[in-house]
Every structure is written in structure tokens, then in C-alpha cells.
Amino acid sequence: MFRKILIANRSEIACRVIVTARRLGIATVAVYSEADARARHVALADEAWPIGPAPPRESYLAGERIIEVARRTGAEAIHPGYGFLSENADFAEACAAAGVAFIGPPVGAIRAMGSKSAAKTLMEKAGVPLVPGYHGKAQDVSTLAAAAERIGYPVLIKASAGGGGKGMRIVERSADLEAAIGGAKREALASFGDDQVLVEKYLTRPRHIEIQVFADTHGNAVSLFERDCSIQRRHQKVLEEAPAPGMQPERRRRMSEAALAAARAVGYVGAGTVEFIAKGGAFWFMEMNTRLQVEHPVTEMITGLDLVEWQLRVAAGERLPLAQDEIPIRGHAIEARIYAEDPGRDFLPSIGTLVHLRQPPETVEVRVDTGVREGDSITPYYDPMIAKLIVWGPDRDAATRRLEIALEAYEVVGVATNLGLLRAIAGSPAFLAADLDTGFIGRHTRADRAADNPEPAAWTAAVLAVLEGQRVVTPADPWDLADSFRLNSEGDQAILLRTGETVMAIRAASRGDGAFRLLLGDVTVIARTGPDGISVDGVLHRTRVVRQGDELTVIHRGRNHVFALVDPLMPPGVRGAGDDRVVAPIPARITHVLVRAGDLVTKGAALIVLEAMKMEITLTAPRDGTIDVIRYIVGDMVEEGTELIHFADGATA
């Protein structure tokens, strides 16, 4: 076994590898970019080395620099995690040349599966069923268009060199194909350094089922069964579970055999995942990920195994710890990915500081894999995942109940999150009935709108937080107290709060015993703050309030309700002319400017392309009109809210 390893990654997966390495007595070396100097994985590792500026190409993708750190620290092996260099054959080859073990598959297997096009050709020869599609080398638009016509719309444009939903577009009609190809190629080049794409038939309402495989250098290979990853947004997984609901033993056997045939076809070694699209009783090969998957914890929870430990043992030349008939399936596990993103804005990533972070308590049945702590920042440079919440139960019903409870206990303030969406999924009748497919989110959930109409308890908690903030702990004289005290009468004060477009004036009067009489609309209540929340007319409501200046975030029943304290003497702000300008929705880098000043455009026309958090965002024209000014050029970094393009007044196309 290795004595010291380097982890060529960051955040949650780096922390995950460190935990297992420490349990096995293996020293760890972390690497970090300038943006991650105070990151959790840096603090957890035995030693940590800087490798460059924040952009991944200058740090986490700088393979030579990482190998040099391994040499200087005496690390015997490099664990690449997932993403970044994990499926980079050149990096794996460079590790071997430097005498450092690569904790992953052989270079040949990475190359074989690294190109989705080549992999599908190989799988066809191995007898693995394929989705109808075009996987050729010719990449001109006319060839791809002809393939799409032959396959039949809708089709899926997919990056050949990577995964994670990057470089992927659904095309419903031929008129949209060329733009989709261009966008997919740009995103693929930015994410994987390769703009080759393939075209496949897009199957409506399929399930996404993958098989975890493991192989060693002694000719042994096993299946660690399946995971259902059907619930997705932007072609990226949101919830995963194991085993797949409704999976019959015979179907599991057939899918496992197909996955193992795929692994053997490329001489696979280590942890790998063979992904299938499934509909009815049929299934088709999609791709093989030659690395550990983000969702590997659900497999660990139902088998009782540590897959990172297996990776380390196999990379060190050991045999697989168990044979196929020794691997159990026990109970049911579900993983929810918690992201800093806004489902109400088409899942745009959210940048900011985690000013408040509370995770559900970890137990044997509840696990949290995370790379952040309270006070850390979500930056525009990396994937916006905050954590993975994994729960286990003796059956699926028990696991879903545990998931709902754990999600309600998760608290994040400072960035927008998908927690509301996850709660909506976990509580939806379709999810509880295991009616799963890749279009689930679009049909069964919506953005978390409950926060737009807070319950009275949330308003009360916000008002009490304002009132408590007025108290002076040890006043020098009575005039230091801002509690609306009146001689011989009960004084009150008006507190104005706004949430969304709703403004409420709440009358508050102190009763002198720590409680307040509040008039909310036409309802009067007696409320006080307690150690676990608030009491309203004697009824306890568990709430938490996080205040940042005049903004108060009330966490109630697992939801965030954001209120602004309104100063009645402050003049109203001036609204911007939204139809006359295009602004950056998040901090990002400009990658393409598709128009010039003076161009006539129609509403919805693509104007400018941004890149942030490994995602391409195309901004479109808000109306018909003439482009007046383009304020930035390709390569510029812009902040959220920055005006990028201005339209000429009154000019229309």
C-alpha cells in the first residue's frame, strides 16, 4: 500500500479521498489554486501546495505542475478525483513516465473511452447495445445535419470528449441545429479541450441507469450493481439512488454483464461506471466514465464498502477485496446534490459567501460529503456544488422519509440554492411512487415559490429580530432603549418589511416582559423570541434568522424567506430600463460577441456568450431593435449586473 498520495483535485472529492487515506494511515498532499488557499481540503490534508491562479487551466489542469509537486513531496501516487484531469490520458501517461502511480485505469482504457465516438464503435463490436446515432470523425455542419435527418428529430448533440452535461444540446427541429452545434462545440472545447461532437437519437422519458464496475490487474472484474440517475437538470444529475427502483434480478444481471463486457473490451482496471439509457425492458450504452463518480456514496451505503479504499488497493497492485457473490445489496440509499444555483433563473449558478451553513447531523443513516465551511465563498471558477447529502434506509420508503427530514434540516444563507427544488422532488407523489425519468423535473416540480408568500410565523420572526436588535444589553440610561416606551400608555412603532413585491407595515408594542404585541395586517398576536425560535400566542415555531445589515433571512420549515427592512424616509429607487440593455446574470468571462454596433436584431436573437462555473450562457435580445453600444470584448471578466450591450432608443428592426 502507498505511504503518501497527492490528490489532484479540490473541494468535496479531495476531502472524501483524504478521509479514507487517513483511515488507512496514508499521508496526503493537497494542491490548491489562489482561490482555494483557505479551502477545507487544504486544511484537512497533511500538507498542501499552491499550484497557480484561480482559472482551472492555470492550476487544477496544469498537469506538469501537479506532477512536480508529487516529485517534491515524495508522493507515490496521484488520485485525480473526478473532473479536471481524472480522464486525461496524457496526464495518466505523464504520471507513469514520472514514476508516480495514477489511481485510475490504464492509459489505453482512458483513450478508448475518452472519445464517446470511438467508444461506441468499440462497444458495438463487443455486442453492447447502442442508441442510434452518428459517431464519425467528420464534423462539418452538413455531415452532422444529414446524420440528424437520418436519425430523426429530436436529436441530442453531445461532446465526444467529456460528460457532466457540458457540450450537450437537445435539438427539436432542423432550423435550430447549426446554432446548437456551435454552442455545443464551444462548450466542449472550453470544458475538455476538444470540440468534437456526436449526434444521437433523443429518447423522450427514458431512465438513466448506470452500473458501477471494478477490475484489478489480476483479471478479476465485478459489478457493484446499479444506480438510478434519472432526475436531472441541464443533463446533469440532481438525485441518484441505489438500487434502481423496480430493478428485477434478471435485468440487473443483463445490464451488469453488458457493463462488464464493456470494461473487458478495453482492459479496464480500477473504478468505472458504464452508463445506460433505458426505456421499458430495453437499455442502450451511453458512455463509460473512467473514474470514480460523484454519486459513488449511494453504492457505498448499500454495499457497506469504501470505493476509494478499493481504488487505492487496486492501484497498489492488490486483488479486488471481494468476489462477485460476496458483494451484498442492503437497503436503499439516495443522494441529493446541493448546489449554489437558482432554479427560478434556469439554474444559473449563484456566487457569494456562505454566511450561514448548518448541515443535518451525520449518523450511520445520514452522510454529508462537502468541501466547504461556513464563511467560505462560492466563486465563478469552479462547479457550484456545496455538498452531497446521502441517506440510507432499510427500504426506499424509509430512505425517502429520511431524505425529506435531512433536507429540512439543511440551512444555507448567502447564496441561492436548489434546496427548495430538492425538497419539492423528495415530497412529490411521483418521486414517492418511483415514477422516474430524465424529464422528471420539468413535469413534476417548479421553482421554490413558497418563499414568495411567507407564513405569518416568518414575518413574525423577522420583526422580532429587528426588535431584538434595538435592545441594549446594559443601558446607561432609559433613553438608550429603542423600544417605543411611553409614560402611562403603551407605545408602539411601525416596522416596514419587504419580500419580493410585498411590503407590510407591522405595528409592534413592547409588553415589558420580553414579549411584544404585534399587529400583522388585521391579526394581533403576542410573540417573543425563544432559544429554539419564536413563540406566537404560546405556540412554538422553530425558526432561525440570519441578519446582514437591513436584510433578514428567516429559515422556517426548511425554507429561506428573505426580508428587507424598509426605511420609510428613503426615496424609492429608480428602476432600470430592462428592455434597453443586456446585463450579466452572474460574474462571468465573455467568450463570444455575436453582433456588432448598428446591427438590427429580433427579440430572442443570440447576442453574447458568457462562460462561468464550467457552463456556457447565451444572452439574447430582450426586444426587436438596433444594437447601440457593445461595452466589452471577448476575454473580459464582468460582474453580475454589468451592462454588456445597450440598444438604441426607439429603434426597431
CA–CA separation, 537 and 505 (whole Å): 20
Class of domain 132-201 as given by CATH: alpha beta
* Distance separating alpha carbons of residues 401 and 423, to the nearest angstrom: 11
Q: Report the pLDDT value the prediction gives residue 481, as an integer from 0 to 100.
A: 56
3-state class of 50 per DSSP? strand
The DSSP result for 204-236, as a single string, is: SS-EEEEEEEEE-TTS-EEEEEEEEEEEEETTE
Give me the CATH topology for the region 578-647: OB fold (Dihydrolipoamide Acetyltransferase, E2P) (2.40.50)
Q: How confident is the model at residue 15, as a pLDDT? A: 98
pLDDT, tens digit, for every residue of 267-314?
A: 999 999 999 999 888 999 988 999 999 999 999 999 999 999 999 999
The tens digit of pLDDT for each residue in 17-37 reads: 999 999 999 999 999 999 999
- Domain 207-450, CATH class in plain words: alpha beta
DSSP characters for 615-632? Answer: EEEEEE-SSSEEEEEE--
Catalytic residues, by residue number, are 291
Q: What confidence score (pLDDT) does residue 490 get?
A: 56
Domain with CATH 3.30.700.40 in the chain: 456-566
For CATH 3.30.470.20, list the domain ranges present in the chain.
Answer: 207-450
Residue 359 burial (CB count, 10 A): 18
Residue 489 has pLDDT above 80, yes or no: no
pLDDT band at 574 (very low <50, low <70, confident <90, very high): very low
CA–CA distance, 403 with 240 (Å, rounded to integer): 12
Query: If you count them, how many residues does the chain have?
Result: 653
Task: Count the alpha carbons within 13 Å of 330 in the hemisphere toward its beta carbon.
Answer: 11
| C-alpha cell recorded at residue 262 | 464493456
571-584: average pLDDT: 63
Closest to 560 in 3D by CA, of 609, 518, 617, 499:
499
Residue 448: band (very low, low, confident or very high) from pLDDT cuts 50, 70, 90: very low
pLDDT reported for residue 633: 94
| Parts of the chain belonging to CATH 3.40.50.20 | 4-103
Helix (H) or strand (E) holding 18: helix 11-23
User: What is the percentage of the chain residues whose pLDDT exceeds 90?
Assistant: 72
Give residues with Cβ within 8 angstroms of 345, minimum separation 6.
416, 585
Per the structure block, which three cell numbers stand in for 353? 459567501
Total-model pTM: 0.83
DSSP class of residue 289? E
Q: H helices of 429-476, where?
A: 429-432, 440-444, 456-470
Please write the tens of the pLDDT for every residue from 617-632: 889 998 899 999 999 9
Q: Using the predicted structure, report yes or no on whether residue 205 has a pLDDT greater than 80.
A: yes
- Sequence-distant (≥ 6) Cβ neighbours of residue 12 within 8 angstroms: 369, 370, 371, 385, 387, 388
Topology of domain 4-103, CATH: Rossmann fold (3.40.50)
In the chain, CATH 3.30.1490.20 sits at 132-201
Residue 605, C-beta contacts closer than 8 angstroms, at least 6 positions apart:
595, 620, 621
pLDDT digits (tens, 9 = 90+) for 329-356: 999 999 999 999 999 888 889 999 999 9
**Third-level CATH fold of 456-566:** Glycoprotein, Type 4 Pilin (3.30.700)
Taking every pair of Cα atoms in the chain, the longest distance, rounded to a whole number of angstroms, is 93
Q: What are phi and psi of 115, to 5 degrees?
A: -100, 115
Strands 4-7 vs 27-33: parallel, antiparallel or unpaired = parallel
Rounded average pLDDT over 400-420 = 96
Q: Which residue has the cell 429540512?
A: 408
What single DSSP character describes residue 571? P
C-alpha 328/C-alpha 322 separation (Å) is: 10
Cα Rg, the chain, nearest whole Å: 27
